[in-house]
Amino acid sequence: MTDLAEDADALARAGAASDARPGARRGARDGLLWPLAPFAAVGVALLALPIVGLVGAAPWSRMPELLSSEGAVEALRLSLVCSLSATVASVVLGVPLAWTLAHGRGALVALLRGLVTLPLVLPPVVGGIALLLTFGRNGLVGRWLYEATGFALPFTTAGVVVAETFVAMPFLVVTVESAFRSADAGLEEAAATLGASRLTVLRTVTVPLLLPSLGAGVGLTWARALGEFGATITFAGNLSGTTQTLPLYVYDLLESGDVDGAVGMSLVLVVVALGVLLLLRDRLLRPGGVGTGLT
């Protein structure tokens, strides 16, 4: 027994000495990563150089003119209205859906989770076709809507909101579901023990706990809705003043040969997306942040 105690004590002292040499430990770990450095450098170049190229090609002298043009102002206005509307719709519909997925069990919930996350990997143009076949004038739901009201969603501003919500809402659902799952169940149980109803627990305990993740999900959802292209042009078309959002305006400029205009408007979208990521950096980039909910 004495020998075991001495061995344990020696191991403890060795561990303490190792902890006291963080530089040596970091050096050992860093040495193991060096073979990966060339691959990491190529990965950084692949992701960063296109943005550098875009910034370098930006027509800085023409930016005030481009941003103040009638087409750009109208496209930006429509983009903001539609993306904010899609974000509100995503919150209203997505938070209850995230709660259901986080607390539900069984094969049906697993299937529902798969359907909810499908737009994350589905090509947007395929999503646009699916929306057209569902909400088009002769679609699965659209024909009943048209017969009852005379209103058809495709090629309208409302159609843009629907397309953007379809593509962007899964970002909010996945983020908030992860927050629901990681919420402190002990606090919820304590509130329930004190007599709070399930709705009261949700409103006074759960929601305040998940507000940071909800904010991150809202930011991601809005940025994704703002940059949506494929589903929008397929389902709602590209009508100036009605459905032509900023990404579609960039496409029009490129098609008409105005490369400088397309680059300038693209830079606006890059700045907005980068701004959102910087605002959410603590939630998205730290270990255990929102990104873990996407796996």
Q: What is the pLDDT of residue 207?
A: 72
Q: What is the pLDDT of residue 164?
A: 96
The domains located in the chain, with CATH, are 18-57 (no CATH), 63-294 (1.10.3720.10)
Q: Which string of DSSP letters, residue by residue, matches 71-104?
A: HHHHHHHHHHHHHHHHHHHHHHHHHHHHHHHHH-
| Contact yes or no for 206/213 (Cβ under 8 A) | no
Tell me which H or E stretch contains 37.
helix 37-57
Q: What is the pLDDT of residue 273?
A: 87
Q: pTM score, two decimals?
A: 0.79
What does pLDDT average to in each consecutive run of 10 residues of the chain (295 residues)? 48 49 49 77 93 91 89 94 96 92 86 91 93 93 91 94 96 90 67 69 72 88 94 94 94 92 92 84 53 41
